[in-house]
Amino acid sequence: MKYYIGIDIGGTSTTIGLVSQEGKISDRSVILIEGFASGPIEPFLDAIVDAIQALAKRKGVTIEGIGIGAPNGNFYNGTMEYAPNMPWKEVHEVAAYIEKRLSVKAVLTNDANAAAIGEKQFGVAKDMNDFILITLGTGLGSGIVAGGKVIYGHDGFAGELGHSIVVPGGRDCTCGRKGCLEAYVSIRGLLETYHAFEVGTVNTPQEIAMKAEAGEQAAIETFMKTGAWLGLKLADAAAYTSPEAIIFFGGIAQASDLFFPSLKETLEANVHNLYQNKIRIMRSGLPLNDAAVLGSAALVM
Ligand SMILES: [Zn+2]
């Protein structure tokens, strides 16, 4: 059996998984970003290297390759570039650093692209060649697969639906512009939508979901609006690649019952009739947190 490493670099924690060639995570290690946030990136990358060595030693296996999913990850250069939710801005040669230290091939892509590859290799998109994967969390990430391939564009950054404008001149976005989809549909976006109803204060989308399930009108409408914003932008996205499905992944996606109905309604109301009633809206088939690890490993397999 061959073993690979799949790494999911996130804003609060990084998961390093030991993945077998058949797509099973047989062991994992988690590094909290907090402890490294005040310094340069190298100690953090060294901690990843240490964790990889420890996993390989514990299992007594040789690592065949390392795949990395990172925010603002550039597949072409193996770099993490100006990631807004990470402590290290600028451009960092993450893949090259890890590859050099371990003498094992390392490749890197955007975290949402990694999740899309994981979904295609091991999840609900196994038999699909054209789909869009949306990750809903701190931000809104998207990976677009067309003709069986992840779309990277000329510079490695294609498919950032989170930074397409849904409300011209609207809410401030972390990218410095106004009205991006991510400013409405993300953890921060959901909280802002809910707080605008002025019915109380919450700290997480899960709290809003619980209130919605208990019948609170403001919470119900928060999710309905969220679905409608998504549906509107996805109606546009449908025209670019004609996806068979749009798959949702991440913490907020757990509350899909609360926003899928308004999402589907708005999507169908705004999409060109060529695509009407053809696009499946689905939830990820992979356990939460696993898609990006599996996808990153699949990237290097
Ligand atoms: Zn933006």
For 120-161, the pLDDT digits (tens) are 998 999 999 999 999 998 889 999 999 999 999 999 889 999
User: Residues 116, 294: contact at Cβ < 8 Å?
Assistant: no
For residue 202, the CA-to-ligand 1 centroid distance in Å is 24
For residue 67, the CA-to-ligand 1 centroid distance in Å is 27
Same domain, 173 and 67: no
For residue 175, the CA-to-ligand 1 centroid distance in Å is 4
The answer to whether position 21 is within a domain reads yes
The residue whose two tokens read 């976006």 is: 189
Query: 104 by DSSP, 3-state: which?
Result: coil
The residue whose two tokens read 């705004």 is: 270
For residue 6, the CA-to-ligand 1 centroid distance in Å is 28
Same domain, 213 and 269: yes
The answer to whether position 122 is within a domain reads no
Residue-level pLDDT at 50: 98
pLDDT at residue 67 tops 90: yes
For residue 247, the CA-to-ligand 1 centroid distance in Å is 21
Same domain, 131 and 212: yes
For residue 171, the CA-to-ligand 1 centroid distance in Å is 9
pLDDT in tens, 236-288: 999 999 999 999 998 899 899 999 999 999 999 999 999 999 999 999 988 87
For residue 179, the CA-to-ligand 1 centroid distance in Å is 7
Same domain, 177 and 151: yes
The answer to whether position 182 is within a domain reads yes
For residue 89, the CA-to-ligand 1 centroid distance in Å is 16
For residue 172, the CA-to-ligand 1 centroid distance in Å is 8
Same domain, 210 and 294: no
Range(s) of the domain holding residue 17: 3-115+289-300
For residue 291, the CA-to-ligand 1 centroid distance in Å is 24
For residue 84, the CA-to-ligand 1 centroid distance in Å is 10
Residue-level pLDDT at 83: 87
For residue 162, the CA-to-ligand 1 centroid distance in Å is 7
Residue-level pLDDT at 153: 94
Q: In the beta sheet, which residues pair with residue 16?
A: 7, 29
pTM over 0.85: yes
Query: 173 by DSSP, 3-state: which?
Result: coil
Compute the average pLDDT of residues 175-181.
95
The answer to whether position 176 is within a domain reads yes
Higher pLDDT, 12 or 274: 274
For residue 160, the CA-to-ligand 1 centroid distance in Å is 9
pLDDT at residue 184 tops 80: yes
Residue-level pLDDT at 113: 93
Residue-level pLDDT at 188: 94
Q: Which residues surround ligand 1, an ion (CB under 5 A)?
A: 163, 173, 175, 180
The answer to whether position 84 is within a domain reads yes
Same domain, 65 and 89: yes
Q: Is the dihedral of CA 255, 134, 82, 96 positive or negative?
A: positive
Closest CA relative to residue 10, chosen from 251, 237, 277: 251
- Cβ contacts of residue 41 below 8 Å, gap of 6+? 88, 92, 94
Residue-level pLDDT at 85: 79
Same domain, 75 and 140: no
In the chain, how many domains are there? Answer: 2
For residue 183, the CA-to-ligand 1 centroid distance in Å is 7
Residue-level pLDDT at 165: 97
For residue 297, the CA-to-ligand 1 centroid distance in Å is 29
User: Residues 241, 130: contact at Cβ < 8 Å?
Assistant: yes
User: Residues 182, 174: contact at Cβ < 8 Å?
Assistant: yes
Residue-level pLDDT at 251: 84
- Cβ contacts of residue 216 below 8 Å, gap of 6+? 199
- Report the CATH number that the domain containing residue 55 is assigned in CATH: 3.30.420.40
Closest CA relative to residue 191, chosen from 134, 183, 12: 183
Same domain, 205 and 73: no
pLDDT in tens, 161-177: 999 999 999 999 988 99
The span from the CA of 185 to the CA of 162, in Å, is: 8
User: Residues 71, 89: contact at Cβ < 8 Å?
Assistant: no
Residue-level pLDDT at 267: 97
The answer to whether position 243 is within a domain reads yes
For residue 20, the CA-to-ligand 1 centroid distance in Å is 37
For residue 168, the CA-to-ligand 1 centroid distance in Å is 12
Other C-beta atoms closer than 10 Å to the C-beta of 100 total: 12
Same domain, 183 and 205: yes
Same domain, 108 and 144: no
For residue 165, the CA-to-ligand 1 centroid distance in Å is 8
Residue-level pLDDT at 175: 87
pLDDT in tens, 210-238: 999 999 999 999 999 999 999 999 999 99
For residue 139, the CA-to-ligand 1 centroid distance in Å is 9
Same domain, 11 and 140: no
Residue-level pLDDT at 286: 86
The span from the CA of 234 to the CA of 216, in Å, is: 27
Same domain, 74 and 155: no
pLDDT in tens, 74-117: 999 999 999 877 999 899 999 999 999 999 999 999 989 999 99
